[in-house]
Structure 1
Amino acid sequence: MKPSISVVFVCHDGDGRILLARRSAQARDEPGAWDCGAGALEFGETFEAAVTREVGEEYTAVPREIRQLGVRNVLREDPPSHWVAVVFAVRIDPAEARIGEPHKFDDLAWFAPGDLPSPLHSQLPATLALMPAGPA
């Protein structure tokens, strides 16, 4: 198997809150876990174009600001996968955020970083560790 490339995005409101989605029973992995957004990079696509497309698909929102935070090497055993995850902070207007893919997510909510819901997706803490302290 070859590694795949994904864009991972933590949407925020510019005032310190982050947007998380609860994975539905039909999600590929970890149903019921709260997670940020992500999607595969398509052939010929820039990172920013992929983030813009995925934020629109998942949250029906338009990014106001996109900032790259870092890169993670994600190796998982169940199911076996290897992703190179390019991580972004994305500011959106909270009024635009809605569930755009109800087959993947069944709830969407804003949280303060110190008051996150449970359970969190297994990959989320390492992603959130890349977020700067305070408003992005």
Structure 2
Amino acid sequence: MSTAPAVSCVFVCHDGQGRILLARRSSGARDEPGTWDCGAGALEFGESFEDAVTREVGEEYRALPREIRMLGVRNVVRPGSHWVALIFSVRVEPGDVVNGEPHKFDELAWFRLDALPVPVHSQLVATLDLFAA
């Protein structure tokens, strides 16, 4: 276990029409399998925030971000991990989205903020609070 916080780029992908893209975490996910969550990935050495988001959206959803907007920062301290989470809003074209990491995600689906699936990942509500603001 590392004693230094890691940096994560968390992204809420949306279609620009009020729907967000969520992934149901598979048994191969790092934590909380079976929950629905937005995307995220670690910032790599020397990488800009926008490049990290673009890379991760491409890896997870095989889509190209059309618009990236930083929403805020969260300090996520959980048993065994500490992440500085940079939160982004990312507009993507729904027709471009496919599951690029089926070993991590069982399913991808679009939802309105007032009709989220159950159960959601423990960190999703706080992230969506920044997105909704």
Q: Give per-residue Cα distances to partners, 1:12-60, cap 9 Å, x unaligned.
A: 0000100000000111100000000000000000000000000000000
Unaligned runs of 5+ in 1: none
1:22 maps to 24
**1:70 lines up with 2:69 in the alignment:** no
Q: Give per-residue Cα distances to partners, 1:89-136, cap 9 Å, x unaligned.
A: 000000011100011001000000000000000000000000135xxx
RMSD over aligned Cα atoms: 0.6
Whole-angstrom distance in 2 between the partners of 1:5 and 1:68: 14
Whole-angstrom distance in 2 between the partners of 1:67 and 1:16: 16
Q: Give per-residue Cα distances to partners, 1:64-98, cap 9 Å, x unaligned.
A: 00000000000011xx1000000000000000111
Equivalences for 1:19-58 in 2 at 5 Å? 19-58=21-60
Flag as ranges the 4+ runs of structure 1 deviating above 3 A.
Answer: none
The code of the aligned residue for 1:7 comes to C
SS of residue matched to 1:11:
strand
SS of residue matched to 1:131:
helix
Percent of pairs with identical residues: 71
1:94 maps to 94
The code of the aligned residue for 1:119 comes to P
TM-score, normalised to structure 1's length? 0.95
**1:116 lines up with 2:107 in the alignment:** no
Whole-angstrom distance in 2 between the partners of 1:60 and 1:50: 14
Whole-angstrom distance in 1 between the partners of 2:131 and 2:84: 18
SS of residue matched to 2:131:
coil
Unaligned runs of 5+ in 2: none
1:3 maps to 5
TM-score, normalised to structure 2's length? 0.97
The code of the aligned residue for 1:121 comes to H
Aligned residues: 131
1:132 maps to 132
Whole-angstrom distance in 2 between the partners of 1:98 and 1:21: 11
